[in-house]
């Protein structure tokens, strides 16, 4: 039950206690990219193109073009557990073993606020011109001084089509008696709570507060304590779907295409009737990295429209690169119409961005969410 929750809880407790602003911000490491043609990239599972042999074709092409050898690690299961592992090193300005890591907007905002990221040299990233205009000036990183989007996506619901051929339509459907003990939800608070709040009729991008969040916490608490929810996990939820431990889940959009390709066409993804969440994961360079120019060279490469289209064809997440849709159409016209990669206005109207939280709100709401895992 709730495998791995204990480790996540410890990480969250550490994260919640961090103030960031209390101590002097660390100093960026000197860049030795000119002498060290290597790069460590930490990312999430199922988040880059991969061939049948387990190789990463676009990454291999990058290495051949640049001479930079990349160590690609699937090191991020969720934002908080990864942060819990590296935050003490970051605070000291030390190397965390990653020269670039892809994390979600709200966590990137924290790293920037605490001084844990290095400022990017845009001269090394001329393909920054291909960044979607809608993503160029977020409130947490004006002008993209410290971060650059990798992929975006939706959180919604998924289910085993063999078990539920008629499909599911809402978060409420996850609480059906037919699914008792076979439901998974995400350890990313903004996605799980966001979907429950949307089901409750809350505009998660708008003006809401403790009462609305508490009502959603009550729903999740009831479903966990009753045994309806089997697991609360990060990316590891995919293994529960594959094994059949869970038959339905709150999940991330592109993941379902990937596991269908790997383990048979058994699962379906949908944005719930009440709406889903919309998010972006972003490249950043940790403060202790000595290979910043190498990381910027990598970012520039993945902002080539043809490269972005090749990645998108595999991961099925929303690419931030202008021109990728046209490049995708050259690969496969149907690919360019895939709403999980190139959503139109109608699809985007169903997705909502969880509003920014103050430091006090984040600590309070995250502690409430985490208490469910601790008490399960």
CA-closest candidate to residue 70, choices 114, 50, 113, 40: 40
363 domain residue, yes or no: yes
| 348 within some domain | no
The verdict on 292 and 361 lying in the same domain is no
Residue 312, pLDDT score: 94
Which of 366, 368, 369 shows the shortest CA–CA distance to 106? Answer: 366
Is 19 in the same domain as 134? yes
Is the model's pLDDT at 148 over the cut of 50? yes
Backbone torsion region of residue 110, taken as left when φ is above 0, otherwise alpha when ψ lies between -120 and 50, otherwise beta: alpha
pLDDT digits (tens, 9 = 90+) for 42-90: 999 999 999 989 999 999 999 999 999 999 999 999 999 999 999 999 9
What pLDDT, on the 0 to 100 scale, is given for residue 22?
53
Of 59, 56, 63, 103, nearest in space to 80 by CA: 103
What letters, b where the CB count within 10 A reaches 16 and e where it falls short, cover 222-234?
Answer: ebbeeebbbbbbb
69-76 and 351-352 beta bridge pairing: unpaired
Residues 358 and 229 in one domain: yes
Contact 366, 16 (CB under 8 A): yes
pLDDT tens digit string along 1-41?
A: 233 333 333 344 444 444 444 568 999 999 999 999 999 99
Distance CA 275, CA 65 (A): 42
pLDDT at position 375: 61
Looking at the structure of the chain, the number of domains it has is 2
Predicted pLDDT at 262: 84
Q: Are 297 and 36 in contact (CB under 8 A)?
A: no
Residues 298/39, Cβ–Cβ less than 8 Å: yes
Work out the average pLDDT over 342-354.
Answer: 94
53 and 20 assigned to the same domain? yes
**pLDDT tens-digit map of 165-186:** 999 999 999 999 999 999 999 9
**Cβ contacts of residue 217 below 8 Å, gap of 6+?**
193, 368, 369, 372
User: What pLDDT is attached to residue 76?
Assistant: 97
| pLDDT at res. 258 | 85
**Is 256 inside any structural domain?**
yes
Q: Are residues 38 and 187 in the same domain?
A: no
Which residue's entry shows tokens 């990669």? Answer: 341
Over residues 196-232, the pLDDT tens digits come to: 999 999 999 999 999 999 999 999 999 999 999 999 9
Q: Residues 79, 107: contact at Cβ < 8 Å?
A: yes
Same domain, 65 and 124: yes
pLDDT at 20: 43
Q: Tell me how far apart the alpha carbons of residues 315 and 258 are, in angstroms, rounded to a whole number.
A: 7
Q: Are residues 73 and 166 in the same domain?
A: no
Q: Which CATH number covers residue 85?
A: 3.40.190.10
What is the arithmetic mean of pLDDT over 349-367? 94
Is there a domain that residue 346 lies in?
A: no
In this prediction, residue 263 carries a pLDDT of 83
Do the domain assignments include residue 345?
Answer: no
Number of Cβ atoms within 10 Å of the Cβ of 14: 15
Q: Are residues 134 and 10 in the same domain?
A: yes
Residue for token pair 């109608």: 346
Same domain, 271 and 302: no
- The pLDDT value recorded for residue 331 is 85
* Tokens matching residue 154: 């939706």
Together in a domain, 22 and 143: yes
Same-domain status, 213 and 236 = yes
Domain assignment present for residue 349? The answer is no
Burial (0-12, 13-18, 19+ Cβ within 10 Å), 65: exposed
Summary mean pLDDT of the chain: 92
pLDDT over 70, % of the chain: 93
> What does the block give as tokens for 358?
């103050």
Query: Has residue 246 got a pLDDT over 90?
Result: yes
Q: Is the domain of 221 the same as that of 122?
A: no
Give residue 369's domain range: 153-278+354-375
257 band by pLDDT with thresholds 50, 70 and 90: confident
């Amino acid at each position: 039950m709730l495998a791995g929750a204990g480790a996540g809880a410890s990480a969250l407790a550490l994260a919640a206690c961090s103030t960031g602003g209390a101590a002097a911000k660390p100093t960026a490491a000197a860049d030795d990219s000119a002498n060290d043609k290597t790069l460590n990239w930490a990312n999430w599972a199922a988040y880059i193109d991969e061939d049948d042999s387990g190789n990463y074709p676009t990454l291999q092409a990058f290495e051949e073009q640049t001479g930079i050898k990349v160590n690609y690690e699937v090191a991020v299961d969720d934002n908080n557990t990864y942060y819990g592992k590296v935050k003490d090193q970051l605070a000291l300005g030390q190397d965390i073993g990653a020269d670039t890591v892809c994390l979600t907007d709200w966590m990137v905002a924290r790293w920037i606020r605490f001084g844990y990221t290095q400022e990017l040299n845009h001269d090394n990233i001329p393909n920054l011109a291909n960044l979607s205009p809608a993503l160029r000036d977020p409130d947490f990183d004006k002008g993209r001084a410290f971060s650059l989007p990798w992929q975006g996506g939706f959180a919604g619901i998924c289910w085993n089509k063999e078990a539920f051929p008629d499909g599911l339509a809402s978060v409420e459907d996850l609480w059906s008696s037919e699914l008792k003990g076979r439901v998974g939800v995400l350890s990313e608070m903004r996605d799980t709570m966001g979907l429950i709040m949307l089901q409750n009729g809350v505009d998660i991008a708008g003006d809401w507060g403790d009462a609305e969040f508490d009502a959603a916490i009550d729903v999740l608490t009831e479903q966990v304590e009753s045994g309806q929810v089997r697991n609360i996990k990060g990316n590891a939820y995919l293994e529960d779907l594959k094994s059949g431990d869970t038959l339905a889940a709150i999940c991330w959009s592109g993941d379902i295409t990937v596991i269908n390709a790997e383990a048979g066409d058994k699962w379906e993804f949908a944005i719930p009737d009440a709406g889903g969440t919309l998010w972006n994961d972003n490249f950043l360079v940790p403060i202790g990295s000595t290979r910043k120019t190498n990381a910027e060279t990598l970012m520039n490469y993945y902002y080539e429209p043809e490269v972005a289209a090749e990645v998108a064809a595999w991961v099925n997440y929303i690419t931030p690169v202008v021109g990728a849709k046209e490049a995708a159409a050259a690969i496969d016209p149907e690919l360019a119409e895939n709403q999980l990669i190139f959503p139109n206005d109608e699809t985007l109207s169903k997705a909502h961005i969880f509003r920014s939280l103050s430091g006090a709100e984040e600590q309070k709401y995250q502690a409430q969410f985490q208490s469910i895992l601790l008490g399960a």
